[in-house]
Amino acid sequence: MRPSCQISRSRATALALSVAVAAAVGPLSGAALAGANVGFLAHQALYELSLLKSRGNTSINSVRGRILYNFSGSACEGYSSDFRQVSELESGEGKSTLSDLRSTSWEDGAGKSYRFKIDTKMNDADASEVDGVAERTGDHVTVKLKQPVAKTFTLDGNTVFPTEQIHRIIAAARAGKPLLELAVYDGSDNGEKVYNTLTVIGQPISGDRTVAAPDPSITADTMKSLTRWPVTVSYYDRDAKADAGEQTPVYAMSFELFENGVSRALVLDYNDFVIAGAMGKFDVKDAAPCK
């Protein structure tokens, strides 16, 4: 699930950290194995949010908040993620905006099936909900939404889910490829949005590289020998009409991605303002290996 800021929700929403994040985030998370010998790590990570900069006429004076990300599973049983981001933005008029994003998802190890539920709330407004499942069949992806409205539709077969996205980023990084283009579906916005993404991958960083401000992911024994890469993923509105010149991403996310799917040093660029996400806590979770 991609991290999100409610003030910019009309333009971008959360990764994946898979992380992502898998990130991305997970942002993004991952499918199958990240490499020959390194699988995706079951873990919990806490990121502290702060304002890096504002641009143009945006009157954002400060940002505070947290992202809590839980990732677990295996290639044989599929991968589960739980994500929550709470953010408070203070503007120049003395006003504040409080947003709360919660997401749970599951993706099978082959990237063929994806279940998701996303709840978002801003200030005292009622929460909005997206709930659905996406299945890869043949040359297309079928999405069945329960919320916000019951609806079934199809996507291009080359569309990937967040777990598969981070898997492909790591594969490209291992192969020394600096660029990767993917169409990504994560169920965000109203559940019907597909983003075109461009990933830029930097040179590998060895585990023994000195870091000015080490965080728990750097100092953890399970992480010290692992390679990581600087990664920037830009998200483009696939439905936007192309104007003359280069299209501007609606959202971009930078981070250092370990070969086991963990992300550190988050930078969330919402165009009008940029937020940093520093890892404050990192815990490795028990995971049953594939039989």
Would you list the domain boundaries of the chain? 6-284
Give the pLDDT band of residue 29 (cuts 50, 70, 90).
Answer: very low
**pLDDT average, residue stretch 99-107:** 95
The pLDDT of residue 13 is above 80: no
Q: What's the whole-model pTM score?
A: 0.85
H or E segment to which residue 264 belongs: strand 263-269
Indicate if the pLDDT at residue 14 is higher than 90.
no
- Quick one: average pLDDT of 107-130? 91
What is the mean predicted confidence (pLDDT) over 87-112? 90
In the predicted model, is pLDDT for residue 201 greater than 70? yes
Burial 124-142 (b: 16+ CB within 10 A, else e): eeeeeebbbbbebeeeebe
Mean pLDDT, residues 240-255 taken together: 79
What's the pLDDT band for 2 if we cut at 50, 70, 90? low
ω before 148 within 30° of 0 (cis)?
A: yes
Q: What percent of the chain has pLDDT over 70?
A: 85
At 241, the pLDDT band (50, 70, 90 cuts) reads low
Per-residue pLDDT of 46-67, as tens digits, reads 999 999 998 877 678 899 999 9
Beta bridge mates, 19: 21
Residue 245 has pLDDT above 70, yes or no: no
Q: Average pLDDT in the 218-246 region? A: 85
What mean pLDDT do residues 190-200 have? 94
Q: What is the pLDDT of residue 264?
A: 95
Residue 32: alpha-carbon gap to chain centroid: 18
Tokens of 240: 């936007």
Residue 36: the pLDDT is: 40
Q: Take residue 191 and report the two structure tokens written for it.
A: 């559940």
Question: Mean pLDDT throughout 247-274?
Answer: 93
- ω into 24 cis (within 30 of 0): yes
In this predicted structure, what is the pLDDT of residue 25? 34
Question: Residue 244: is its pLDDT beyond 70?
Answer: no
Average pLDDT over all residues of the chain: 84
**At residue 6, does pLDDT exceed 50?**
no
Q: What pLDDT does 16 receive?
A: 32
pLDDT of residue 138 exceeding 70: yes
Quick one: pLDDT at residue 39? 78
Q: Looking at the predicted structure, is the pLDDT value of residue 23 above 80?
A: no
* Nearest residue to 86 (alpha-carbon basis) of 121, 59, 113: 121
Work out the average pLDDT over 224-252.
85
Angle at 74 between CA 70 and CA 79, to 5 degrees: 45
